[in-house]
Amino acid sequence: MTEDMIPVSPQNLMNFNCHYKNECFNDCCRDLNQALTPYDVLRLKNNLGMSSPDFLKTYTSLHYGPGSGLPVIEFKPNPATGYACPFVTADGCSVYEDRPGSCRMYPLARAIARSRQTGEITEYFALIEEPHCKGFGKKTGQTVKEWLKGQNVDKYNEENDKLMELISLKNQILPGKLEGVQSDMFYLGLYDLDEFLKQIVEKDLLSEFSLSKDLLARIKTDDEALLNLGIDWVKFKLFGIKMAYGE
């Protein structure tokens, strides 16, 4: 959390309402510098009926963290639209049901701490009061917890926490910058899921592992299962952690 954020608890009243009648409607969808998580990419490309290579090429840009070497996926910047989200329209978000987790959370920020002894996750929240947003001060009677439930954000947080765990492992086991091949594995197993599946099926990418027939059948139709397998594979290839999901 940064100094310009206001810590809140799940029991605090939200006093915020995003509505199409607000004078700032859609302003938060412009001048973007927004990173996408693997689960964000999964939901968006499926919403649009696109393969992951096509979605990533069309809508995103890729760069690597200067210190970590980890791939960072962001919406492709377009100065002609004021760096607007590619899915914002005059009527709002065209992919609303599958909008990224950070969009669902806004104007809240979320941080987590994981117990090394139990693995239990503790959540921390803060409000981000940006000048352009006019949704503040509108009493809805909802608590932060109730507001979050209305955004259907729990599934996103659950999936995105797996990425945070993976990054934490990387920092512990492989501090410093990942090299090209390692970064490429991270990108393939987490973001480019359709290419990952293609290499499993057509190039025996995971031939060294004993994947069950049931799992092989499931990952062909279930992208969440495929993403979990990708996370498991990356843990093994980069950190030497035995694959559990694929057994």
* pLDDT, tens digit, 9 for 90 and up, residues 3-27: 568 899 999 999 888 888 888 898 8
CA distance 98 to 85: 14
- Say what the pLDDT of residue 233 is: 96
What pLDDT digit, counting tens, does each position of 143-191 carry?
A: 999 999 999 999 999 999 999 999 999 999 999 999 899 999 999 999 9
- Say what the pLDDT of residue 30 is: 87
Residues 6+ apart with CB under 8 A from 99: 87, 93
What pLDDT digit, counting tens, does each position of 64-86 carry?
A: 999 999 999 999 989 998 899 99
DSSP 7-67: EE-TTSB--B---TTSTTTTGGGSS---EE-HHHHHHHHHHTT--HHHHHHHHEEEEE-TT
Q: How confident is the model at residue 243 (pLDDT cuts 50, 70, 90)?
A: confident
Angle at 1 between CA 183 and CA 36, to 5 degrees: 35
- Say what the pLDDT of residue 226 is: 97
Q: What letter does residue 78 receive in the DSSP assignment?
A: -
What pLDDT digit, counting tens, does each position of 100-158 carry?
A: 999 999 999 999 988 878 878 899 999 998 888 988 888 889 999 999 999 999 999 99
Q: How confident is the model at residue 1 (pLDDT cuts 50, 70, 90)?
A: very low
Q: How confident is the model at residue 245 (pLDDT cuts 50, 70, 90)?
A: low
What are the backbone dihedrals phi and psi of residue 187, each rounded to the nearest 5 degrees, phi first? -65, -45
- Say what the pLDDT of residue 114 is: 83
